[in-house]
C-alpha cells in the first residue's frame, strides 16, 4: 500500500521558468526583420535534467529535429539547455543547415557550461532558408546574460512566428506536502496538425522523474492535447514537444504518484494546445469536435480529425451556417464504421439529425448558437461506444491572405 499523499492540482499564471531551478530568456538578435519581434529563446536548468521529446512524423525533418534526436540518444535522455530561434525553420537546408544546428548547440553549451549533447535545438519559421548564424553568434551571449526565473514571458514571445499572442501555462500539485511545479510554453498558428505546426512546445518540471516515466507522460499527454488539435491539417517539418525534469523540488515521481504528475503535465499542455487553435491563422472560433458511437477509439479519432480538417465544415462554421449535411458526409467518407440510420449530428445543444431523420426546423436555433466564438460539434456514428475529442478552428479569408503572403 502506497504511503504517498497527493493534494489537489491547481493551475496558476506562469510559464516555462516557473519550476525551481529553471531560467529562461527571450531576445531579438536579428534573425527576423526589425520590428517583427523577439527571435531567440533559451531555457536553462541549473543542473542536468532528465529529458524526453516527441517529434514530427514528417519525413522531411528539419536539422534541429535531427540534432536534438541525436543528443537525446547520446545522453540517454539528459539535457541542461534548449535553444530556440524563430524566423527561420532551418529545414531543407542540407549540410549547411546541419552544421548550423550543431553550432547553435555548441555555442550554447560553451556559455552554459555543459556537454554539447546536453543542449537541445529547435527552430521555426520559413522552410528552405539558411539561418543567420552571424546574428546568433553575436547575440547568444546577451541571451545567456538575460536568463532569469522571471523571463518566461520573453521566451514565449521569442518563439512566435505568425502567432497572434504568446502561450504560457503552469500548474502545481503537492506530493507528501511538497509542491512540484510544471510550466510550459508553446508556439503555433498555421501549418498545424502535429503528428508526433509549425508547432513547438517546451515543458519543464522541478520533479525528479525517471526517464521511462517521463517519456510515458509526455507521450500520453501529447496524444490527448497537441496531437488532438488541427488548424489546417498540415504536419510541419519542425514539430516537437520537449519535457525536462530537473528534480529541484526534491520530490521523485514513481508509479504511485505518476497519475498526479501526468495530470499536472496535462493541465499545462491542454491550455497551450487550445491556445494554438484559438490563435490559428485567421481563426475567429475555437471548435470542439466530439465523435461518439465509434467502433474503436482509433476510428473515433480518425473521424474527428476528418471533420476538423474539412474545408467545407470549417467554412460553414466561419459563415455561421448550420449545415449538418457536411458533417454527415465527412463521417460517411472517413473510412470508419458508420451506420446512417443510427447516426446523429448536434451543433451545440441543438440536434439537427438523428436516427436517419433531419430536424431542419431547428436550423435557426443552431445558426444563433454558431455566433459564439467557442463552439461544440458532436457526431454520433452509431457503430459502437468509443469516442474522441479534437479541437480545431474555422477557416476564413484571412487564413488565405496570411499564407499567400507568408514569404513575401
Q: Which residues are catalytic?
A: 198
**Torsion-angle region of residue 92: left (phi > 0), alpha (psi -120 to 50) or beta?**
left
Cα–Cα dist 387/369, whole Å: 23
DSSP secondary structure letters along 263-275? HHHHHHHHHHHHH
CB 57 within 8 A of CB 235: yes
Q: Assign 184 to helix, strand or coil.
A: strand
Report how far residue 392's alpha carbon sits from residue 290's, in angstroms, rounded to the nearest whole number. Answer: 11
| Helix residue ranges, H only, 118-257 | 133-145, 152-158, 211-224
Contact 233, 123 (CB under 8 A): no
Rounded CA gap, 18 and 4, in Å? Answer: 24
223's CB contacts (< 8 A; 6+ apart) are none
Say if residues 28 and 40 touch (Cβ distance below 8 Å): yes
| Nearest C-alpha neighbor of 332 from the set 291, 296, 367, 362 | 291
* Strand ranges of the sheet holding 386-393, from the earlier edge strand across to the other edge: 357-358, 350-354, 344-347, 374-380, 286-294, 386-393
Burial 329-366 (b: 16+ CB within 10 A, else e): ebbeebebbbeeeebbbbbbebbbbeeeeeeeebbeeb
**Residue 211, number of CB atoms within 10 A of its CB:** 16
Q: How far is CA 265 from the centre of its chain?
A: 12
Measured distance CA(349)–CA(6) in Å, rounded: 37
Extract the C-alpha cell encoding 111. 556559455
Alpha-carbon torsion angle 265, 166, 371, 191, nearest 10: -80
Amino acid at each position: 500500500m502506497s504511503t504517498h499523499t497527493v493534494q489537489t492540482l491547481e493551475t496558476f499564471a506562469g510559464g516555462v521558468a516557473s519550476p525551481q531551478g529553471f531560467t529562461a530568456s527571450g531576445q531579438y538578435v536579428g534573425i527576423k526583420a526589425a520590428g517583427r519581434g523577439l527571435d531567440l529563446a533559451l531555457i536553462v536548468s541549473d543542473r542536468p535534467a532528465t529529458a524526453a521529446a516527441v517529434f514530427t512524423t514528417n519525413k522531411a525533418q528539419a536539422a534541429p529535429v535531427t540534432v536534438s534526436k541525436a543528443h537525446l540518444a547520446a545522453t540517454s535522455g539528459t539535457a541542461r539547455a534548449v535553444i530556440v530561434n524563430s524566423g527561420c525553420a532551418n529545414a531543407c537546408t542540407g549540410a549547411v543547415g546541419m552544421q548550423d544546428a550543431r553550432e547553435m548547440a555548441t555555442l550554447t553549451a560553451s556559455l552554459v557550461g555543459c556537454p554539447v549533447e546536453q543542449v537541445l535545438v529547435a527552430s521555426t519559421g520559413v522552410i528552405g532558408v539558411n539561418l543567420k548564424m552571424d546574428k546568433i553568434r553575436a547575440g547568444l551571449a546577451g541571451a545567456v546574460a538575460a536568463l532569469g526565473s522571471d523571463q518566461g514571458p520573453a521566451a514565449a514571445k521569442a518563439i512566435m512566428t505568425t502567432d497572434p499572442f504568446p502561450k504560457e501555462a503552469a500548474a502545481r500539485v503537492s506530493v507528501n506536502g511538497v509542491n512540484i511545479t510544471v510550466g510550459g510554453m508553446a508556439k503555433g498558428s498555421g501549418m498545424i496538425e502535429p503528428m508526433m505546426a509549425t508547432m513547438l512546445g517546451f515543458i519543464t518540471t522541478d520533479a525528479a522523474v525517471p526517464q521511462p516515466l517521463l517519456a510515458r507522460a509526455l507521450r500520453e499527454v501529447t496524444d490527448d492535447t497537441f496531437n488532438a488539435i488541427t488548424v489546417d491539417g498540415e504536419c510541419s517539418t519542425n514539430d516537437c514537444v520537449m519535457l525536462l525534469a530537473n528534480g529541484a523540488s526534491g520530490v521523485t515521481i514513481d508509479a504511485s504518484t505518476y497519475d498526479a504528475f501526468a495530470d499536472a503535465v496535462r493541465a499545462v499542455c491542454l491550455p497551450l494546445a487550445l491556445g494554438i487553435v484559438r490563435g490559428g491563422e485567421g481563426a475567429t472560433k475555437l471548435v470542439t469536435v466530439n465523435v461518439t458511437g465509434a467502433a474503436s477509439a482509433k476510428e473515433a479519432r480518425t473521424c474527428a480529425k476528418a471533420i476538423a480538417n474539412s474545408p467545407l465544415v470549417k467554412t460553414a462554421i466561419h459563415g455561421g451556417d448550420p449545415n449538418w449535411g457536411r458533417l454527415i458526409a465527412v463521417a460517411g467518407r472517413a473510412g470508419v464504421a458508420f451506420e446512417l440510420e443510427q447516426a446523429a449530428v448536434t451543433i451545440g445543444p441543438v440536434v439537427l439529425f438523428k436516427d436517419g431523420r433531419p430536424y431542419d426546423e431547428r436550423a435557426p436555433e443552431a445558426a444563433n448558437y454558431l455566433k459564439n466564438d467557442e463552439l461544440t460539434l458532436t457526431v454520433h456514428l452509431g457503430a459502437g461506444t468509443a469516442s474522441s475529442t479534437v479541437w480545431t478552428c474555422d477557416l476564413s479569408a484571412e487564413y488565405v491572405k496570411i499564407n499567400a503572403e507568408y514569404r513575401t
